[in-house]
Each structure stands twice: as C-alpha cells, then as structure tokens.
Amino acid sequence: MNRTDRLYALVEELRAVAPRPRSARWLANRFEVSTRTVERDISALQQSGTPIYAEPGRTGGYCLDKARTLPPVNLTPGEAVAMALALKRLAGTPFRAEAGSALRKLVAAMQQEDAAAAEDLATRVHFLDDAGDLPPIPRVLADALGARRVLRIGYGDRQGAETRREIEPLGYVGKPDHWYLVAWCRLREGIRAFRIDRITSVSVTAEVPPPRPLRREDLDIPYGVVEQLTLAE
C-alpha cells in the first residue's frame, strides 16, 4: 500500500470506530508499518486539517471527530477539477490557504478511484501564469477529455483558411482571452494546440483513441509560463 492509500485508509479506519480510539501500535499492525510511520502519517493528516486528536491513557490512542469529517462523496472527477479551478481564483486573496485545505479535504472524501481519475484529469489542465478571466468553452469541447472520443473539427488559421481534422483530445491550456484544446492531430501527425474560438465545427465520433501522455514540452503555446492545475494546492 502506498502512502496516499494508507493515509486515506487511516482516516476511514478511525471514522469507522469513532469516537473510540485506535492505538498507534494497533494501526501499525493493521497497515503493516512501524508505529513511527503511523505517527508521521497522523501528524501529516492533522497538519492538512483532518480532525484527529490523541486520547491519553492506557486505553487511549488516536480519535477522529466524526462530526467534522465527510464520508466518501459521489463527486465526479470533472466536478473535482471544476472546484480546483474555482478555488484557484482565490490565489492572492487572504483565503488562499483555506482554499488549499478545502481542496485537500474534498479529494480525501472522494471514492479512491474517482480521486485518482480527478488527479489524472487535473494534470491535463494548464494555463499561463497571467491568465485572467477566461471565456467559456462550448460544452462538447469541455467534455472532450472525459468523453475520450476522437473529434472531427473544422479549424480556421490566422488567415481564415479552414481545414478538416480528426483529433484526439489530450488537455487544455488557458491564456488571457483564449482557451486552447491540446490534441493529437491526425492530419499533422503530431500534438497541436487548437485555439478554441477558431474551431468552427465539431462532432464526436464513436472511436476511442489510444492513451497518449501529455508532457510539458508538448504544450505548443508561444509565450508565458505554463502552469499545471493540481488538486494539492
């Protein structure tokens, strides 16, 4: 079990028996780690805002305040990433730290598979460091990553010439005034960034494209520092 899974499992174990305590030794045996590892994990959870406290005495241990925690919730990966984007708008305000804490609690409360899918989706959303208020994305393009289908688009270049393309969506990049859809272009046989306001038409095919990684060096944006969205603010 990796550390992320163990932290999640620790919270769920303490939630299941709350308000009764679990000793560090009991938890160490349960997760097959040392008591020192359990103590470090509990400290990390406490620092992230999880309401765990130590109860002293021979029968004491670690307790979770069940009334102040959420059980696993049925948020979709897309909903979690949407909240991450919304909370990011609080950067530079007095509530930046609280926004990061709220986001960590949200992800910790999700089902494990959904949380992992949300983390993967977040790694495919990028924006330039000076991106301000960005325009809305048409629904069919906003759903492109989650739907995992090949798209057929009409695309106009700077001179207005239009081409027809089949693309495999890989990610998004936002910059001032524009969104880009980053995709594998079958016409050009490579990764391209398509300015969304230049996509003149779009249709969703039934074809599921092969999985492709999206690396930072693949982001073909001509200026600015590209920043990746994260669910661990």
pLDDT of residue 199: 93
- In angstroms, the CA 227 to CA 90 distance is 16
Q: Who has greater pLDDT, 115 or 67?
A: 115
Task: Single out the residue of 81, 15, 86, 77 nearest to residue 52, CA to CA.
Answer: 15
pLDDT of residue 227: 66
Q: How far is residue 37 from each of residues 24, 27, 28, 108, measured CA to CA in Å? A: 9, 10, 8, 19
Q: Give yes or no for residue 93 having a pLDDT over 60.
A: no
Q: Give yes or no for residue 103 having a pLDDT over 70.
A: yes
Which residue do the tokens 């002293």 mark?
56
Residue 202: strand pairing partners: 153
Q: How far is residue 194 from each of residues 103, 111, 129, 180, 208, measured CA to CA in Å? A: 30, 33, 19, 5, 20
Q: Give yes or no for residue 230 having a pLDDT over 70.
A: no
pTM exceeds 0.85, yes or no: no
Question: Within a 13 Å sphere around the CA of 164, how many CA atoms are in the beta-carbon half?
Answer: 2
pLDDT of residue 144: 83
List alpha helices for 21-153, DSSP H. Answer: 24-31, 35-47, 77-88, 96-109, 112-122, 139-142, 144-147
Q: Give yes or no for residue 94 having a pLDDT over 70.
A: no
Range of weakest confidence among 50-64, 100-114, 127-141, 152-166? 127-141
User: Which tokens belong to 209?
Assistant: 């494209």
Q: Give the model's confidence band at 9: pLDDT under 50 very low, under 70 low, under 90 confident, else very high.
A: confident
- Which of the listed ranges 109-123, 142-156, 182-196 does the model predict with the highest average pLDDT? 182-196
pLDDT of residue 207: 93
Task: Single out the residue of 171, 179, 167 nearest to residue 146, CA to CA.
Answer: 171
Q: Who has greater pLDDT, 118 or 67?
A: 118
Q: Give the model's confidence band at 15: pLDDT under 50 very low, under 70 low, under 90 confident, else very high.
A: confident
List alpha helices for the chain, DSSP H. Answer: 3-17, 24-31, 35-47, 77-88, 96-109, 112-122, 139-142, 144-147
Which residue do the tokens 């095919």 mark?
205
